[in-house]
Each structure stands twice: as structure tokens, then as C-alpha cells.
Amino acid sequence: MDDFRRILLIRPSALGDVCRSVPVLTSLRAAFPNARIDWLVQDSFAAAIEHHPALDNTVRFPRRPFAGGLTPPKAAAFFEWAARLGEPGYDLVVDAQGLARSGLLAWMTGAACRIGEASAREGAPLLYTRRVPIPAGWHTVDRMLGIACAGLGIAPVVDMRLHTDEASRARAADLVGSRDRYVLLAPTSRWASKRWPADRFAALAQRLLDSAAVSIVVVGGRDERDQCGPVLELAARDKRVVDLVGQTDVATLMALVERAALVVANDSAALHMGVGFERPCVALFGPTRVDLVGPYRREHDVIQHLERGDEIDHKRDAGAAIMDRIGVDEVESACVARLVDRSRAAEPRA
């Protein structure tokens, strides 16, 4: 096995994928305990991994200045920024993203060994020195692990755990106040086909308030409040429901997930944070391949109803009909079962 001293892991986005790329980091650290290991990540997502004990530094990619296409001025600024990637003298780069931009960033480090998936998109493999074939049916976590582990001949360390800091925990505690036992609801998604109807989230919240002796914390992005209408109306009427939609950064969201009694989410970053913090979860899935991108090794947490002939394509709004098959009763039952299990686990042994 090669003895690498300066390693760069590239996985800039998306937030949920950054969270579940952590096993690549832990595998690299186990194989190269004395190496400097950095992670190139989108600046707005750096908080998801910056406190991980296996990581030395984050290299923060400023996506916003380069968004909307590379005009000549943007291209010049991009290459000026990327040129600095050569300064640390990386001897190994692992591209876990597999797109043209990440491949280009890997190439611009000047590292002698640049590893990526052989079937990566947008011509990225042309910029690698080692191209790793990955079976098409592998889960995305296994795929990313395969790039690093098969490509380097190292053992995988499947450690999904995430880490946050005390300042973020303090902010989360301030936001929830005295609500020690709460269910975190994440009712939003970029894709309409991935959203369980907001009125059903509201109905679920009301039932849990009535029967499970919990509070409710609702999270989402600043531009997602319109996806949460019925839940926010409930929050306006009932102080046991905390409306934090648009009020949390990544670090605070992580701390809120870490202390939640239960996470109920669509296919979103909050769900993958729940896995990373080993929280009980109920995952609501529509036209998405759970075996490829679901919560890793926690398929039992997924509620999904597929029928023969369904088109599995989350980018088509017609897929929302699959989410509509999920009823409030079954989600409530799954939530109560997990809350009961957690309460029993917390009881002192006789």
C-alpha cells in the first residue's frame, strides 16, 4: 500500500451526501493515521464535517460566486481560486463526487494520485490517474467507499457518526428551551415528488402532541416556508410546536437533530443527519431507490409504497402520487413504536 502523507477528499455537496460521505474519511484515517487529511466541501456545508476528529482541515469551496454558469469573469475567478489547491502539496486526492467540476478540482491539486469512479459523469474520469469500476447497484455509501478502498487497497471503516460542537449545542438548547423530549419534523424537499403532504405532517404532529407526551420542532430552509403552511399554522396555535423553519444554520440543525427523541423526514439532509447521530428515524420515501440512496443500513426505518409500473424518478412531479399513498395512521404507529422503544431503553435496569 502506498504511504500517502497529504490527502484531499472531495465531496462538496449536497448536504445529505456530505453527511454520509464520512465513512470515506474514517477509512482514510484508519489506513493513513499520520497523514494530513483535508476535505473540500461547499462553504455552506462545512459545518457538517468540520468537527470530525478524523479531519485536519476543511477546504471551503465558495459556490455562490460561481453559480449560474461560468462567464469569463467567473471562470477567471474560479481558476484563480482553484490554483491555490496545489499549495498544500497533496499526494492523494479522492473524488467522491464524480462530476466535471470535482474532477477538475482534483486535477488542479497537482496530486500524483487522483482516484475516482470509472463511470463518473461529465468526463471526470479523464482527469483521474486511477479509475475504479463500481457495480451499478451499489448504495451510494458503498459506492463512495469503493472508490477509496478498492482504489487504494484499504479496509473500509463504516462509521457514519457525525460530530458537532458545544456552541452549536448551546444554540439548539436555547431554541428549544425546556422542551427536552421532542420530535423533529423535516417536511420540506427541493423536489415536489419527495414531499409528504404538509397537511399530513400537521395531522401527525397533532396526534403526537395528543398521545405521545412530546413537543414538536419543525425545521426547513429560509425559502421553504411555503412548503410547511399547515404545520406552521399549528405552531402558531400551540406553543408545544416550535417553528424553526428558516432559523437554523447547518451547525444548529445538526445539534437539534442530535438531541431529538425522533426524526421524521422526507428524503432530505435531516434524515441523513439522523442516521449520523444514531437517532430513531421515520423516513418517508416516494419515487426514489431506497436501495441506492436511502438511509444507510436502516431500510427498516423507511415507509414507501411502490406499485408495479411506477416510474422511479424524483425529478418528475408526477411521482408525488407515490408519497400520497403514505397514510398518517401508519406514520403515527411507526413514530409511537420508536418513542416507546427509546423510553424503554432509557429506563434503569432492575
Domains of the chain and any CATH numbers: 6-152 (3.40.50.2000), 166-346 (3.40.50.2000)
68: left (phi over 0), alpha (psi -120 to 50) or beta: left
- The residue-averaged pLDDT of 44-68 equals 94
Average pLDDT of the residues of the chain: 95
| pLDDT tens digits along 288-298 | 999 999 999 99
CA distance 270 to 206: 21
The model's confidence at residue 348, banded by pLDDT at 50, 70 and 90, is very low
Report the amino acid identity of residue 114: R
Q: What is the DSSP letter of 95?
A: E
- Rounded distance between C-alpha atoms, residue 126 and residue 10, angstroms: 16
Of the candidate ranges 13-17, 178-182, 326-330, the one whose mean pLDDT is the lowest: 178-182
Task: Examine the pLDDT at 12 and tell me if it is beyond 50.
Answer: yes
Distance, C-alpha 154 to centroid of its chain: 24
Give how far the C-alpha of residue 275 lies from the chain's centroid of Cα atoms, to the nearest Å. Answer: 9
Rounded to 10 degrees, what is the CA torsion of 264, 267, 271, 276? 150
pLDDT band at residue 346 under the 50/70/90 scheme: low
Given a cut of 80, is residue 335 above it in pLDDT?
yes
**CA distance linking residue 136 with residue 119, whole number of Å:** 9
Judge contact between 189 and 314, C-beta under 8 A.
no
